[in-house]
Amino acid sequence: MEPPFTKLHHLLRFLRPHWHWVVLAPFAMLLESYMDLLQPALMQRIVDEGVSAHDQALIFATGWRMLLYALLGALGGALCTYFSSKAAMGFGNDVRQAVFRAVQRLTFEQTDRFTAGSLTTRLTDDISVLQFLVMMLTRMLLRSPFLLIGSIILVLRTDWHLALPLLLSAPVITWIVIRWMSRLIPLFRERQLRNDRLSAKMQETLIGIRVVKAFATERGEARRFEGLNQAVAETGLEAGYLHATLWPALSLVQHLTVVVILFVAGFEADAGLIKAGQIAAIVNWVSQVMMALIHLSFQTMHFSRSFISARRVLEVLGTEPGIQDGPRTEAPADGSIEFRNVSFAYPGSSGQPVLKDLSFRIQPGTHVAIIGATGSGKTTLMNLIARFYEADGGEVLVGGAPVRTYALRALRGAMGIVLQNPRLFVGSIDENIRWGRADATDEEVAEAARIAQADRFIAQFPEHGATRIAQGGVSLSGGQKQRISIARALIRHPQILLLDDATSAVDPETERRLRQGIRRHFRGTTVLSVVQRVSSIQDNDAILVLDGGRIAGFGTHEELLRTCAPYREIIDSQTPGGKEVA
């Protein structure tokens, strides 16, 4: 487990592996800045000693030196960019990796709380802002103060009177920038929130693109997107307006300062106190001071902006996973499942329990169907077995031990889970099946597909198992997707197979063969399936009937028909004339 990341300075840990680049970059930059400082002095020499004395040799020699210094400066600049890019990219990569890992550890509830949109912008935008900060710090952090102080010293050495206007303009520049920043920082915060919403909308529309098209609501969606997009653009525009006023204000101050300096220098030159080359050099250094001040203010601004992003990244990194690993790293002793007085309410819901005092035991290797009205808690019950959520009261046991005592990998590693809306990944059919167990052989993949009744339709695709699905590949029907997902779960040879309405789009005859195949090939596996159709109850050893979060009955079909009124109602509702079909 990684140490918790809660404070800003914790992010510095991500710089540690790249420390040599972090150190080298400012050194290279010092070379560049030092050359920048030397140039005006050389120019001064050319003007004052070369031009006025008509000394061609000195002009050439100094000119060559200026060229050499410029080349050295360029070399320093290029090296600095290379080193700081290395530092920033390495840092950004590591942070992104850590945030991705943290996101994967979040529980469903925590993911919902952050929202997928916000997690996406944190993983992309916010980390890019931090990456840019590292780039900027390694390049500019020393450069601006170095140029600022160096130029001031050189001006003071040449003619200290001419440094006085600087003393007046520096506070003005600082004041302008502070005022500007106080308006800009809230804008950044707002913009990130609006970005979150925009990216959430984008994801929602892309995931639900079929629904959008089916309902022909593209225009409505585009309008809603436009609204959110506009909101992001507005904050950008507002920042743009601020920017538009800032630059002219700063350059006005800069030029005024130069004018005042030239004015004073004019008098001094008349009095023979200063030479033309010296004035030119001073103007150059003063410009560097001004630019350094402006850069420093921008750096401070980016710094503040990065704080917002850093906090957003740290919120993810510092979130303790809602569900922690237990000490057991070995697989459950067997595939038994037991609920002891289990109660559960979804976190954040009104506290209304979804499961109420549930107790039952399923022996290893038995097949149990769960049936009940929509909302009776069937999926929730499955969620507790895989420990996607933690029971509020009572105990859920797998293999005789409470689920919270297992490391999640050990617990879920023993399970094959097929969720209600199975999601396949971009890749071939075989890759999707092998996703369940990376080291499965081709034969095992084929066998899992066969048992899941997927082999026949796979054989009809042009490239069989190598056929690509999803992006740029074939589209699968709901029933085909479900069967590939079942194959993906079976290939794990799970002790417990959880099928949450996983055969709803498979025809009853195929489903019957599938269930019989599982029973034949996976003798020891406990199979728990949420079912909607009465026909899916066949081939199960027992049926658990849920009604409003409570167990209304648990037994065989015949027993329940005799003793369980809610079960009879379900059977009757699905059987023409009230006759049983199971």
The residue count of the chain comes to: 582
**In this complex, which beta carbon is closest to ligand ADP, that of residue 388 or of residue 522?**
388
Cα distance from N-terminal residue to C-terminal residue, the chain: 49
Strand order, beta sheet including 337-344 = 355-362, 337-344, 393-398, 401-402
Least distance in Å: CB of 291 to ligand ADP?
A: 55
Least distance in Å: CB of 127 to ligand ADP?
A: 28
Annotate 500-552 with three-state secondary structure: ECCCCCCCHHHHHHHHHHHHHHCCCCEEEEECCCHHHHCCCCEEEEEECCEEE
Least distance in Å: CB of 372 to ligand ADP?
A: 6
**In this complex, which beta carbon is closest to ligand ADP, that of residue 356 or of residue 468?**
356
Least distance in Å: CB of 378 to ligand ADP?
A: 4
CA–CA separation, 268 vs 45, rounded Å?
19
Residues 348-367 close enough to bind ligand ADP by CB under 6 A: 349, 354
CA–CA separation, 519 vs 451, rounded Å?
10
Integer angstrom CA distances of residue 60 from 45, 47, 73, 276, 510: 11, 12, 20, 19, 92
Ramachandran quadrant class, 187 (left: phi over 0; alpha: psi -120 to 50; beta: rest): alpha
Least distance in Å: CB of 358 to ligand ADP?
A: 12
Piece of the chain touching ligand ADP by CB under 6 A; list 88-96, 154-162, 368-376, 562-570: 368-376
Least distance in Å: CB of 204 to ligand ADP?
A: 17
Residues 323-352 close enough to bind ligand ADP by CB under 6 A: 346, 349
CA–CA separation, 358 vs 264, rounded Å?
90
**In this complex, which beta carbon is closest to ligand ADP, that of residue 122 or of residue 378?**
378
Q: From residue 473 to residue 512, what is the string marking binding to ligand ADP with x (rule CB under 6 A)?
A: ----------------------------------------
CB count in 10 Å sphere of residue 196:
22
Task: Count CA atoms within 13 Å of residue 85 on its CB side.
Answer: 6
Tokens 């250094």, residue located: 285
CB count in 10 Å sphere of residue 219:
8
Piece of the chain touching ligand ADP by CB under 6 A; list 174-182, 280-288, 314-322, 374-382: 374-382
Does 529 contact ligand ADP by CB under 6 A?
Answer: no
CB 153 within 8 A of CB 238: no
Strands (E), 298-390: 337-344, 355-362, 367-372
Piece of the chain touching ligand ADP by CB under 6 A; list 93-101, 169-177, 376-384, 558-566: 376-384
Residue 129: Cβ-neighbour burial (10 angstroms; 0-12, 13-18, 19+): buried
Piece of the chain touching ligand ADP by CB under 6 A; list 189-197, 296-304, 369-377, 470-478: 369-377
Does 372 contact ligand ADP by CB under 6 A?
Answer: yes
Tokens 């840990």, residue located: 13
Q: Of 490, 487, 500, give the one whose Cα is nearest residue 421.
A: 500
**In this complex, which beta carbon is closest to ligand ADP, that of residue 90 or of residue 372?**
372
Least distance in Å: CB of 100 to ligand ADP?
A: 23
Tokens 């005092």, residue located: 357
Does 566 contact ligand ADP by CB under 6 A?
Answer: no
Among 4, 236, 375, 578, binds ligand ADP (CB under 6 A): 375
Among 3, 171, 270, 374, binds ligand ADP (CB under 6 A): 374
Least distance in Å: CB of 536 to ligand ADP?
A: 14
Task: Count CA atoms within 13 Å of residue 206 on its CB side.
Answer: 9
Least distance in Å: CB of 500 to ligand ADP?
A: 8
**In this complex, which beta carbon is closest to ligand ADP, that of residue 109 or of residue 444?**
109
3-state secondary structure of 425: coil
Least distance in Å: CB of 369 to ligand ADP?
A: 13
Piece of the chain touching ligand ADP by CB under 6 A; list 170-178, 235-243, 289-297, 371-379: 371-379
**In this complex, which beta carbon is closest to ligand ADP, that of residue 99 or of residue 545?**
545
**In this complex, which beta carbon is closest to ligand ADP, that of residue 374 or of residue 475?**
374
How is residue 259 written in tokens?
A: 């004018």
**In this complex, which beta carbon is closest to ligand ADP, that of residue 327 or of residue 351?**
351
Least distance in Å: CB of 438 to ligand ADP?
A: 30
Q: Judged by CB under 6 A, how many residues of this single chain contact ligand ADP?
A: 11
**In this complex, which beta carbon is closest to ligand ADP, that of residue 278 or of residue 376?**
376
Least distance in Å: CB of 112 to ligand ADP?
A: 7
> What radius of gyration, in Å, describes the C-alpha atoms of the chain?
35
Least distance in Å: CB of 498 to ligand ADP?
A: 12
For residue 257, what is the enclosing H or E element?
helix 218-270
Residues 378-397 close enough to bind ligand ADP by CB under 6 A: 378-380
Among 336, 376, 536, 540, binds ligand ADP (CB under 6 A): 376
**In this complex, which beta carbon is closest to ligand ADP, that of residue 376 or of residue 495?**
376
CB count in 10 Å sphere of residue 412:
18
**In this complex, which beta carbon is closest to ligand ADP, that of residue 114 or of residue 285?**
114
Integer angstrom CA distances of residue 151 from 143, 155, 174, 268, 300: 12, 6, 18, 20, 21
CA–CA separation, 206 vs 204, rounded Å?
6
Please give the residue ranges that form the binding site for ligand ADP (CB under 6 A): 346, 349, 354, 372, 374-380
